[in-house]
Amino acid sequence: MKKLLMFIIPCILLNIFNIPGIGIYLYRPHEYYTISYQPGDYTPSSQQLNNPYQGWYHIYGYTLSDTELINVDDVQKTIAKDKNQLVLLEINLRNYPDSEISPLGLSQLDSLLLAWKDAGRQMILRFLYDWNGKARETEPKDISIIKRHMEQTGEIVNKYAKNIYLLQGIYVGNCGEMNNSNYMSKENLRELATHLHSTIDPDIYLSVRTPEHYRIVSQSSQPISGKDAFSGEIAARTGLFNDGMLGSESDLGTYGEKPFEISEDFAGKGTRSEEIAFQNALCDYVPNGGEVVLDNEYNDFANAVEDLKDMHVSYLDCGYDLHVLDKWRSDTYHGEDCFDGMDGYSYIGAHLGYRYAMRSSECSFDSFRNTNATLSVTMENSGFSVGYRPFLSTVTIVRESGSICDTISVDTDNRLWKSGETSTWTVPLDIRAYQDGNYQVYYRLFDPASSRNILLANEIPAKKYGYYVGSFTVERQLP
């Protein structure tokens, strides 16, 4: 007993006075480990990543009707020809200007969304009453009818919330673009936007045409901040769509000519530089996209890249304006990275939205001080924007035999991996539970909504368990 006390008392004293390492070593002399870690090769890739919620899209228009029904076979043929992940569906409601949408009309909408959903596409929707610049003539004569149409279509839309990325507009204006409408007073704008917000599943983003519209809807002169982002409130789910993008100094009236002055009703447009700075802050948290138009200096390739980056653009129409898109195709990117020599159109396409890549990793462990080892991986986002939907991050530890040793959820939020920045996440590895031997580490980023693995911008190919991060060897040693 005396000998036992002579051993225990010094151990307790060493631990109390926090003499580094010695206390743990004396308490657990049989648990001394070494771990050697070798990171993988993180060579960046220039390839186009066919990931959800970003990139090029085509527009397809459909009119709900009780007499000329949508042909689902034709829809299927269209789907077969379109290889993009994103699609913009414009749904015209002009046949119901003074009534509810009929059950037959709603059934067609349901069938249309089902067909695109079954094809695994992410949908952008725009409901409207006009394609011919005559919205004032074709819109319902009472705002209550528009609100009822929002409710009716919302019931169908919400069934496909996982596949519908966002809704553009508030159903009014020429081509649904919130202009030349009977309902674009500040009061009507906020009434319709607020009603749509209350109707549509909160997982679906909303979008308005200009930063001014956003300020009126959110009732704030400031964009949403990081602490309030992703809350589900209207200001945290409303982004922008710009179908006059890069078309002139004002983006065809999207911006104003004079510096912005805060007004009580939050109306008013700032200058181009002010509004792009506004988008730079806002669209860290909500999507921005649209069409580039009218060949001019603002959409010359070099100028376009800078503005698209600052506006955090994640999706663009690949069918319009071809004069601008072809101008990009004929230009070439030059830089000290893997994109050097790529044509401008491909370069912009590769950077629309998020572009995540592993850049480095390390594994630290002190057998005396630490219960677990710590794996740290640094990610870079070289895309123009973030990924606005939350993805799941997991690390899988695989034995030399090929069997899974451990699967660990990573506590990180990809929506905060900002454009042009690096972010580091860590996971604990329960090294003391691992047998002596060699292990490989894999990382997977997964979108639960589309059931898709997210492709990383690294040259290494994705394998069964994800992307190879590195390897380590565990060895127990007697003191």
Tokens of 231: 């809350």
**Sign of the alpha-carbon dihedral angle for 450, 454, 455, 460:** negative
The pLDDT assigned to 371 comes to 85
Q: Which are the contacts of 49, defined by CB distance < 8 A and separation ≥ 6? A: 350, 355, 455, 456, 457
* Strand runs labelled E in 43-149: 55-63, 86-92, 122-128
For 248-287, the pLDDT digits (tens) are 999 999 999 999 988 888 999 999 999 999 999 999 999 9
DSSP letter at 448 equals: T
Reduced to 3 states, what is the DSSP secondary structure of residue 158? helix
Instruction: Please check whether residue 356 is in contact with residue 414, taking contact to mean a CB–CB distance below 8 angstroms.
Output: yes
Separation between Cα atoms, residue 454 and residue 51, nearest integer Å: 6
| Helix boundaries (H) for 219-329 | 234-237, 272-282, 301-310, 322-329
For 48-103, the pLDDT digits (tens) are 999 999 999 999 999 999 999 999 999 999 999 999 999 999 999 999 999 999 99
Instruction: Please check whether residue 152 is in contact with residue 200, taking contact to mean a CB–CB distance below 8 angstroms.
Output: no
CA 337 to chain CA centroid, nearest Å: 24
pLDDT confidence tier of residue 479, bands split at 50, 70 and 90: low
**Does the pLDDT of residue 14 top 50, yes or no?**
no
Instruction: Please check whether residue 453 is in contact with residue 436, taking contact to mean a CB–CB distance below 8 angstroms.
Output: no
Phi, psi of 438 (to 5 degrees): -105, 140
Tokens of 19: 């003499």
pLDDT confidence tier of residue 30, bands split at 50, 70 and 90: low
User: What pTM did the predictor assign?
Assistant: 0.92
Tokens of 363: 């594994």
Separation between Cα atoms, residue 60 and residue 46, nearest integer Å: 30
Write down all domains in the chain, each with its CATH number in brackets. 20-45+355-477 (2.60.40.10), 55-351 (3.20.20)
| Mean per-residue pLDDT of the chain | 93
